[in-house]
Chain A
Amino acid sequence: MSDSRNDNSQQSSATPVIDFDKFKPTRSYTAARKRKDIAMHVLIVMAFVIACIPLISVLWTTLVNGIHRFNWDFLSHNMTNVIGGEATATNGYGGILHAIVGTLEITAGAMVISIPVGIMCSVFLTEYRQTGRLSRMIHLLVDVMSGIPSIVAGLFAFSMFAILAGPGTLNGFEGSVALSLLMIPTVVKTTEEMLMIVPNDLREASLALGVTKQRTITKVVLRTALPGIVSGSILAIARVIGETAPLLMTAGYIVSTNANLFSGQMTTLPVFVYQEYSKLRANCPVGSSASCVTTIPMERAWAAALMLILIVLVLNLIGRIIARVFAVKTK
């Protein structure tokens, strides 16, 4: 396009003559811009590839190393009668039954505490007290709570039980308390988000039918938001089920199966993984049988880690499917 070559004779004297060629980018500049664009594209794709390496590596190594000892015997036995690297009477090398029981009970305890409290708290924030100093304060503190490091949550539960139930108290419920401290803010936030997107029209429609506020909330608002709340709660569970540090100091660690949440120490899967990892290797004294495996603690750690990953992934999957399939179309 060469319309920059103006016909000077037709120009009135006042208008400046502009040579648009001056503003044209040089060819090398255009090429440089293009190169930069491509370079950034490559860098961005590379960032993604780099991030994929650890994820694949974590999942792959856990699968490969874990599958070796991942069998029914491992799932159905605890760690009693396991001596060094020797095989047990059932020809296994101990297992994680006690840790699965502990994980399920402690997490269930945390659920029972934090889901009702979290949901009712967000009902309070969205349905009863939307504005004002109290609600601002609660919002702020929920944010503070969600930033509490998990080890501090553990210290809190430990201190509370030490003061209220006597020093040195370790039991499963103490772990549940620590976990619920981590879980409540997640539940409050996701539920609040879900309640906010329930259209106000529905609340008005229900109230206009002469329905009381409580029934409007439980049967219309919460019902409409239910899939989102359930899925959010499941994701919150998936987050705390892998917590290790707070349980290390509150629930303790034992080798036998303890089904009583309120008394006695309990082992959970993440703690089991950590404890086996810390053992490094098992003892096979001279003269022990050929079935003695020195590397068995690491193998158990990997197998338990595989179990843990499976639980977390399945929970994530269920949460997402619920959110997707049962989503209530409001428009």
Chain B
Amino acid sequence: MSAPTTVAPQPSTTDASTSLTKPVNGKRADKVFKGIATVCGVLILVVLAAVAIFLLVRAWPLIGGNRKEVDATISSFTGGAATNFWAYVGPLVFGTVLVSALALIIAFFIAIGIALFISHYAPKRLAAVLSYVVDLLAAIPSVIYGLWGGIVLVPAIYPFWNWIAEHLGFIPLFAGPAANPPRTVATVAVVLAIMILPIITSISRDIFLQTPKLLQEAALGLGATKWEMIKLAVLPFGKSGIVSASMLGLGRALGETMAVLMILSPGMSYSFKLLQASQNQTIAANIAAQYPEANSLGVSVLIGTGLVLFVITFLVNFAARKITQKASVK
């Protein structure tokens, strides 16, 4: 830079009385940019419509095609166990919901515990590290959970399931004998629980951290213990957040493919025997498993089951959304 001059330079003004009606440069870019943004916004609508249309078109033979051929395809899928679409998709829906609900039950309390630990118990430094660890857990691809579940967890968890079957076997849910290797709904539910843990944890943690300081101090000021304070102030405040977090976790578990595909020994029954193999199968894993060998009509059937899965996850996510909205209105 040159040495500063003492007299300030004057910019030469081209036109002192600028005309307001002179065309502004950049006006066209303005319009084009707005156009692109609008197109991209509307594109979301188009894409979702496209998803629905393409899936429906491809699944059409199921509805408008030859009923006999469809039923024959289904019966070849199941070895004659199911002869029409609803009989086919029924056990799959059952299996999907069973595994996901179980995963949610396992994950729920642990996730709330971790969230409380991070938000109210851990020292600040540690809490930051833990938050990171939870996010890390979410980042691990599902195929790796599948690999780990199939090779490490399955043999490791057998003694535990065996113990449960022996001691709690009188409960129909845990009716023995425990399958060995335990490629069972129970094991899959554990893996899915690990996978949805971070989702529930991170959302609940954020909600817990938002609990008004005033409420917490009011509770402590009355002489409440820390746990009583959490029960009085934090949990009621975060209730709707916890519910919607669980719903989102459930949505994730419902759609999970690889971990189920790589661990579960599938079956097609309405069975609650969690510790026995070949009882249930989920929609997503079934699609991935059947897909490579399916003919054109078979693919239509699988897409039909995919649509059912889409509707279920949509309903769950929608419920989660409604609950959060209701809470934020208040």
Which residues of A are interface residues toward B (Cβ below 8 A)? Answer: 33-34, 36-37, 40-41, 43-48, 50-52, 54-55, 57-58, 61-62, 116-117, 120-121, 123-125, 127-129, 134-135, 137-138, 140-152, 155-156, 159-160, 162-163, 167, 181, 184, 188, 212-215, 217-218, 238-239, 241-245, 248-249, 270, 273-274, 277, 298, 301-302, 305, 308-309, 312-313, 316, 320
Contact = CB atoms under 8 A, between A and B. Distances in A.
A55 B137 contact: yes
A243 B141 CA distance: 7
Contacts of A54: 148, 194
Contact of B262 (A43, A120, A277): A277
Contacts of B321: 140, 143
B258 A274 contact: yes
B327 to A, nearest CB: 16
Interface string B215-258: 00000000001111010000000000000000000010011111
Interface size class of B (residues with CB under 8 A): 35 or more
Given A143-B321, A159-B57, A44 B116 contact: yes
Contact of B121 (A44, A129, A142, A167): A44
Contacts of B150: 277
Nearest to B300: A159
Contacts of A155: 55, 58, 287, 302-303, 306
Contacts of B306: 149, 151-152, 155
Given A155-B55, A160-B54, A167 B296 contact: yes
A144 B48 contact: yes
Interface stretch (B34-42, B72-80, B166-174, B272-280): B34-42
A145 B40 contact: no
B145 to A, nearest CB: 7
23 contacts: A36-B227, A44-B113, A51-B194, A52-B133, A55-B137, A117-B40, A128-B34, A141-B48, A144-B48, A144-B318, A147-B317, A148-B310, A150-B255, A151-B309, A152-B310, A155-B302, A181-B51, A212-B24, A215-B26, A238-B139, A242-B140, A301-B147, A312-B141
A284 to B, nearest CB: 20
Interface string B104-146: 0000011111101100010000000010111111011111111
Interface centre among A46, A51, A320 (most CB of B within 10 A): A51
Contact of B41 (A138, A145, A213): A138
Contacts of B26: 212, 214-215
A151 B147 contact: no
Interface in B47-94: 47-48, 50-51, 54-55, 57-58
Given A40-B230, A120-B41, A142-B44, 15 more contacts: A41-B121, A50-B110, A51-B134, A62-B148, A117-B40, A128-B34, A134-B41, A134-B42, A148-B255, A151-B288, A239-B139, A242-B141, A270-B143, A308-B143, A316-B135
Nearest to B137: A55
Given A305-B143, A316-B135, A48 B113 contact: yes
A226 B321 CA distance: 28
Contact of A273 (B57, B144, B228, B303): B144
A309 B144 contact: yes
Interface centre among B27, B41, B136, B306 (most CB of A within 10 A): B41
A309 B148 CA distance: 13
Interface centre among A134, A159, A163, A301 (most CB of B within 10 A): A159
Contact of B148 (A57, A144, A243, A245): A57
Given A61-B148, A151-B288, A243-B141, A33 B114 contact: no
Contacts of A316: 135-136, 139
Contact of A123 (B37, B109, B145, B197): B37
Contacts of A162: 58
Given A55-B137, A120-B36, A147-B313, A141 B45 contact: yes
Q: Would you list the 4 A-B pairs with minimal beta carbon distance, nearest first?
A: A242-B141, A149-B255, A47-B113, A124-B41
B147 A305 contact: yes
B330 to A, nearest CB: 20
Contacts of B29: 212, 214-215
Interface string B292-330: 000010000011001101100110111001000000000
